[in-house]
Amino acid sequence: MRVAGRASFLVGLSLLLTACDRSPFGHAGPVAADQAQQPHWTRATARQLRDAIDNRAAHGLDRLGFDAGGKPGSAEGDAALTRAALAYAHALAQGATNPAKLYDLYTIPRPHPDLKQGLAAALAKKDVASWLESLAPQDGNYRRLSQAYLGIVRQASAPVRAIPDAGKTIAAGSADPRVPMIAQQLVAMDYLDPRFAQGRRYSRPMVAAVRALQADYGINPDGIIGSDALTILNLSDADRARAIAVAMERLRWMDRAPPPTRIDVNLAAARLTYWRDGQIVDSRKVVVGEPGKETPQLGAPIFRLVANPTWTVPRSVQEQEMADKSEDDLAAQNMAWKDGWIVQQSGPKNSLGLVKFDMADDQAIYLHDTPAKALFGMVQRQRSHGCVRVEDALGFAQLIARDQGVERQWQEALDSGEETFVKLPREIPVRLFYQTILFDEDGTPIIRNDPYNWNDRVALALGFAASNSLGLKVGKGDVGP
């Protein structure tokens, strides 16, 4: 698989969740087949169902079973076929797994097709195959994932030899017996020109290739080959297949026709994308929750901008990270006790910066500015206490205010120097999702790392073994949200 396009993933991650062709969905949930009169199956429609299930690898579902062994023409056989059809249709239309059960919190809008009605219509037309095919996402990136998955599972390649770690790093210019194997894998991943894959010395072209690989996978791009780089270079076909299958499943969870004007935040890539009328108008870095304080996967709208916000420190931060702060320490950060809470006043030192994007959710999650600008220069930006810090948040707020026709009110609020609320005439839906597959300019899937280790629970539910994916290790950061 080709892996390239360091800079181009900005658009790739945004296009990952573009609106798909709308399927003929209704709004009621799937109904068990034995709760209503069974549809009538024929040999032809039963064969269509079995053929579709036999080809389920196209959706990364080949490790799950869907028993379509019922014989058409009898009540029992028709019931069995209906159960199998609805189960497989549900996997295609909404996902084979339920994210609300896999994660403590998942509130992103999901598709809700009326599968029972859809199946009945398909049987009446004697075209179950087309109906099933219409249920999965129809966008180009889903198809590219499908093609990549099929390309992996269908090839009969020899087992990949592991490049030994040996506890020794490889620095630029050094000779090492592992260099030829590393060079071979870099060539296979399309990072290195075959002309530079010669010898046992870690050459400048190889260093450049490794730096590019490290940047793509969220590792400090220092060019030194250590355990993390070797883990990526040893990525097996099984690892790639697992990641792609999980990515397809996550796409099946998502609404096929999301709001044309919205804000998407990919937590795995720490990147925000602003859509206006179905077009990408802005993309920028964000800082999201660190492991252990992960930003949840939720959907909620921004309903107002807050200029010069104050910050009421949550109890958890107050008790765990600020318990030993003196009055002088708090005063140095423009903080003080108020009604039993520590409150930070408006100003340049405020942990929310100069703007907060208030969201209507019950998790106290929101987007905001930050004085800790250096974090945006980091490759791995899972560094906050759970909220989403936005790069150049003032510029983004200005863009939102202009689009909403409240630019003058926003500027006046900002100039006041005091906490001021500017309601948006139109709420902007926000989706905080998690996706570890991006795309380069030509649509090739790029497998990124899994900073929260959230892919395993999906992969296990799809029948895959656990992976050895890299987990993010972060040091002690600031106390901001």
Reply yes or no on whether the pLDDT at 27 is more than 80: no
Beta carbons of 302 and 367 less than 8 angstroms apart: yes
Rounded to 5 degrees, what are φ and ψ at 115? -70, -35
Reply yes or no on whether the pLDDT at 297 is more than 70: yes
Lookup result for tokens 């992960």? 294
Beta carbons of 23 and 135 less than 8 angstroms apart: yes
Number of domains in the chain: 3
Q: Are residues 409 and 272 in the same domain?
A: yes
Q: How many residues does the chain have?
A: 481
Domain boundary among 103, 136, 169: 136
Reply yes or no on whether the pLDDT at 17 is more than 70: no
Q: Show Cβ contacts of residue 351 under 8 Å, excluding neighbours closer than 6 positions.
A: 311, 344, 370, 371, 478, 479, 480, 481
Q: Are residues 328 and 443 in the same domain?
A: yes
Q: Are residues 111 and 176 in the same domain?
A: no
Q: Are residues 222 and 334 in the same domain?
A: no
Q: Are residues 264 and 230 in the same domain?
A: no
**Domain annotation covers residue 439:** yes
Q: Are residues 166 and 122 in the same domain?
A: no
Q: Are residues 214 and 121 in the same domain?
A: no
**Domain annotation covers residue 186:** yes
Q: Show Cβ contacts of residue 284 under 8 Å, excluding neighbours closer than 6 positions.
A: 271, 272, 390, 391, 392, 396
Give the pLDDT of residue 169: 92
First to last CA, the chain: 39
Q: Are residues 105 and 165 in the same domain?
A: no
**Domain annotation covers residue 241:** no
Lowest mean pLDDT among 6-10, 274-278, 380-384: 6-10
Q: Domain residues for 172?
A: 161-235
User: What share of the chain has pLDDT > 90, as a percent?
Assistant: 64
Question: CA 216 to CA 446: how far, in whole Å?
Answer: 8
Q: Show Cβ contacts of residue 101 under 8 Å, excluding neighbours closer than 6 positions.
A: none
**Domain annotation covers residue 420:** yes
Q: Are residues 419 and 274 in the same domain?
A: yes
State pLDDT tens for residues 119-175.
999 999 999 999 999 999 999 999 999 999 999 888 755 455 568 777 789 999 999
Judged by DSSP in three states, 133 sits in: helix
Beta carbons of 344 and 310 less than 8 angstroms apart: yes
Give the pLDDT of residue 314: 87
Beta carbons of 194 and 170 less than 8 angstroms apart: no
Domain boundary among 119, 136, 153: 136
- CATH code at 214? 1.10.101.10
Residue 44, CA distances (Å) to 47, 127, 134, 194 in order:
5, 9, 19, 52
Reply yes or no on whether the pLDDT at 433 is more than 50: yes
Q: Are residues 87 and 182 in the same domain?
A: no
Give the pLDDT of residue 167: 76
Give the pLDDT of residue 28: 38
State pLDDT tens for residues 48-100.
999 999 999 999 999 999 999 999 989 999 999 999 999 999 999 999 999 99
Q: Show Cβ contacts of residue 319 under 8 Å, excluding neighbours closer than 6 positions.
A: none
**Domain annotation covers residue 145:** no
State pLDDT tens for residues 242-252.
999 999 999 99
Beta carbons of 476 and 275 less than 8 angstroms apart: no
**Domain annotation covers residue 172:** yes
**Domain annotation covers residue 304:** yes
Q: Are residues 346 and 428 in the same domain?
A: yes
DSSP 355-386: EEEEE--TT---EE--S-GGGGGSS--EEESS
Question: CA 287 to CA 383: how far, in whole Å?
Answer: 6
Inter-residue long-range contacts of 334-340, CB under 8 Å, 24+ positions, other chains counted: none
Q: Are residues 165 and 130 in the same domain?
A: no
State pLDDT tens for residues 305-353.
999 999 999 888 888 888 888 888 888 888 889 888 999 999 988 999 9
**Domain annotation covers residue 248:** no
Helix residue spans in 94-236 (DSSP H)? 99-102, 115-125, 128-135, 140-154, 179-188, 204-216, 227-233
Reply yes or no on whether the pLDDT at 29 is more than 50: no
